[in-house]
Amino acid sequence: MKNDSVKKVVATGIGAALFFVLARFVAIPSGIPNTNIALQYGVQSVFAVLYGPVVGCLSGFIGHVLTDITWGEVWWSWAFGTAVYGLIVGVFSKRINIQSGNFGKTEIITFVIANAIANVIAWPVVAAVGDMIIYKEPANLVIAQLAVAAAADFVCAVVIGGLLLFGYSKTIAKTGSLDRE
């Protein structure tokens, strides 16, 4: 158990660092103010699937806060949205048993559903409502931001995260795949 805890702490740190680097230095402008096409959610979703909801939540939250600090101001509503996103995808990790070496049709469908649910809750519910309540942002700007963020984050997470998980699954020997000589 202790070894598992150490792995999760290390995974959280690595996940947060990767999230930060991608968010800060590989941000693709969307044309909507303060909203980028975010490749980091693909990586966050991988850490959530591999290590569970706590790592998914914390790696995204820490990475998001560090990114915002370097831009000058932390947008807590979006940082908490990122945490919720990782938490939700991580909850689905129990249904995506990647450690068995499988990432086939069922696992891919589950991964897509997890990301769809996470994006619907994280951005419209947590981030957008938070922006309107905490920062008194106008609803039309918030709706534009969340529409772009939810769509782009979903596509990036499913494509990038899906490819990374598929590749990872191919590195794991399936149970019973080794013959005794």
Is the CB of residue 41 less than 8 Å from the CB of residue 156? yes
Distance CA 134, CA 151 (A): 23
pTM of the model: 0.89
Ordered by start, the domain boundaries in the chain are 2-169
pLDDT at 142: 85
The CA distances from residue 11 to 7, 15, 46, 114, in Å, are: 6, 6, 11, 20
Per-residue confidence (pLDDT) for residue 148, from 0 to 100? 83
Q: What is the pLDDT of residue 75?
A: 92
Structure tokens at 11: 């995974």
Q: What is the pLDDT along the chain (181 residues), one digit of tens a residue?
A: 567 999 999 999 999 999 999 999 998 888 877 778 889 999 999 999 999 999 999 999 999 999 999 999 999 999 999 999 999 999 999 999 898 888 999 999 999 999 999 999 998 889 988 999 999 989 888 888 888 888 888 999 999 999 999 999 999 977 665 555 5
DSSP one-letter string for the chain: -HHHHHHHHHHHHHHHHHHHHHHHHS-EEEEETTEEE-THHHHHHHHHHHH-HHHHHHHHHHHHHHHHHHHTS--HHHHHHHHHHHHHHHHGGGGS-GGGT--SHHHHHHHHHHHHHHHHIIIIIIIIHHHHHHS---HHHHHHHHHHHHHHHHHHIIIIIHHHHHHHHTTSPPTT-SPP-
Measured distance CA(45)–CA(90) in Å, rounded: 8
pLDDT for 1 equals 56
Architecture of domain 2-169: Orthogonal Bundle (1.10)
Q: Which residues contact 166 (CB under 8 A, 6 or more apart)?
A: 103, 108
Note the pLDDT of residue 97.
85
pLDDT of residue 60: 97
Q: Give the pLDDT score at 175.
A: 62
The pLDDT assigned to 181 comes to 54
